[in-house]
Amino acid sequence: MMFALLAQQCLGGLAFPIAKYGLMTIEPFTFAFFRFVIAAVVLLVITRLRKSQPPIEKKDYIKLIGLGALIVPFNQVAYLFGQQLTSASHAALLFATVPIWIFIAAMIHLGEKFVLRRGIGVVLGLVGVLIIIGGGAVEIESRYLWGDLIVLGAVLAWAYYTILGKSLVVKYGAFRVTAYALSSGAVLYLPFGIYRACSFDYSGVTVTAFLPVLYMALDVSVAAYVLWYWLLKQMEASRLAVFNNFQPLIAGAAGVLFLGEQVGVSLVIGGLVVLIGVIITETANRKKRIGNL
């Protein structure tokens, strides 16, 4: 399970520098259109090829469509739109609060108990991410308010995509739930996505520029999303959320290795704080398991 967790975080963390490269030549909403169409087709084809799957109850189709709305229009598209109205540092900091929202929502909707060490781990992880992203230097300006609110909505959408999907994942499996949820979200985005894709000027786009699109479609929307739900099936949502703080650390390291960015003190210190938070959380889980033996 730890290998799957590490793989999921690496795929997600590498998405930031890779997507950044692709968005230099392809505008965000066109990029999102190709990403989700490709991912939806691949997921549905593989789902159809898989056999011996229990039928999905009619009442659960509504839930799957709801998950699709959360993950595509309300999470990914809202994030792209909100990021245009605020600063990159604000958007990154707001997404760093994801583990806290999952931690709270898991107690409210999934009945998970409050574990002090896990709570400390979540807070330390957040502090570490804040250090990595900006070293504490973030401007607070009213002109970013609407963008911040939209990005915060995208953050809450991802948190509830995680929480509300858990029961369906246990019932039908991570792959099928991801396939139907993301596909329904892609359909909801289709009219707007087609409009942006058709009006985009492709004259300056090379074949290489589409490689990040393929990475985001196959490695993130297919592999990383399926792994996220699979891991959610194996562990409590609040525990899984803590590990999400590794992504900014991985993204920062990838920026150093592949984009020539410099190693800052904030990356080193923030990474250590994130690691301490994860260790504290896992220590709490280990003690809990030993107590249950």
Question: Helix crossing, 246-258 with 2-22: angle to 10°?
Answer: 50
For the stretch 32-86, pLDDT in tens is: 999 999 999 999 999 988 877 788 998 999 999 999 999 999 998 898 888 777 7
| Residue 136 structure tokens | 């504490």
pLDDT of residue 38: 97
The residue whose two tokens read 């690496």 is: 10
What's the pLDDT at 108?
Answer: 87
- Express as a percent the part of the chain with pLDDT over 90: 39
3-state class (DSSP) for residue 221: helix
In this structure, the dihedral spanned by the alpha carbons of residues 147, 150, 151 and 154, taken in order and rounded to 10 degrees, is -170
Q: pLDDT value at position 290?
A: 36
Alpha carbons 122 and 287: distance in angstroms, whole number:
17
Question: What pLDDT was estimated at residue 181?
Answer: 96
Least confident of 23-32, 71-80, 158-167, 236-245: 236-245
